[in-house]
A and B are shown apart, each in its own frame.
Chain A
Amino acid sequence: SAVISQKPSRDICQRGTSLTIQCQVDSQVTMMFWYRQQPGQSLTLIATANQGSEATYESGFVIDKFPISRPNLTFSTLTVSNMSPEDSSIYLCSAGERATGNGYTFGSGTRLTVV
């Protein structure tokens, strides 16, 4: 399974600013995903990021707020733009080949607090 390095692990940001989260995978992978997880809650998919195409966003998430880059098969970034306290959450990236394979692995997460 792929090993994912995610950074930063945590950050405290001022409202109105932006934060970019990076995920580096130790092998080339087709699928990369970005999730948000509120404390005590399950995972909510933000978008799917495939190399060479625009990210596909889930309902309730828009590109202007959460721009994503996927420049190659081992790297992706998620930017949380114009942050408000409601964006405080844990953000996770996930990667793998196919959902019908051995599943996907997760990065260690970024705990974001917006003040």
Chain B
Amino acid sequence: QKEVEQNSGPLSVPEGAIASLNCTYSDRGSQSFFWYRQYSGKSPELIMFIYSNGDKEDGRFTAQLNKASQYVSLLIRDSQPSDSATYLCAVTSRDYGQNFVFGPGTRLSVLP
């Protein structure tokens, strides 16, 4: 059973703070890691992906991957109220073909 877990929410941070979203996965063969953002009533949109250990930065977003610990995180710097959404972690592995395994999501609220 391939599982993806995320820190339970909702997570509330003040505007301008750093929001930290965490994801752990059970399949050591997992290869690719994606973060999707989903606003209420909307479909998920891809914001970051990472394949290699370490950090990957894109604007205010940083994805961090540690395959030894089976852990991937998403940091959002200078959080804005517009970042309030549910963040979904998705993982793929060779054994699971081209499908994603999605985590349950973490709801983030950025308070003005």
Contacts and interface: CB of A to CB of B under 8 A. Distances in A.
B88 to A, nearest CB: 6
B8 interface: no
Given A42-B102, A108-B43, A103 B49 contact: yes
B46 to A, nearest CB: 4
Nearest to B101: A45
- Measured as residues with beta carbon below 8 angstroms from the partner, the interface class of chain B is 20 to 34
B46 A1 contact: yes
Interface string A94-110: 00001110111111110
Interface in B72-112: 88, 90, 92, 97-100, 102-105
B45 interface: yes
Contact size class for A?
Answer: 20 to 34
Contact of A99 (B88, B99, B105): B99
Contacts of B45: 105-106
Contacts of A109: 42-43
Contact of B44 (A45, A102, A106): A106
Given A99-B32, A106-B43, A108-B43, A43 B92 contact: no
Given A43-B88, A100-B31, A100-B92, A31 B46 contact: no
Given A43-B44, A102-B46, 4 more contacts: A99-B98, A100-B92, A103-B49, A109-B43
22 contacts: A41-B104, A42-B88, A42-B102, A43-B44, A43-B88, A43-B102, A45-B100, A92-B43, A92-B44, A98-B98, A99-B92, A100-B31, A100-B32, A102-B46, A103-B90, A104-B100, A105-B45, A106-B43, A106-B44, A106-B45, A108-B42, A109-B43
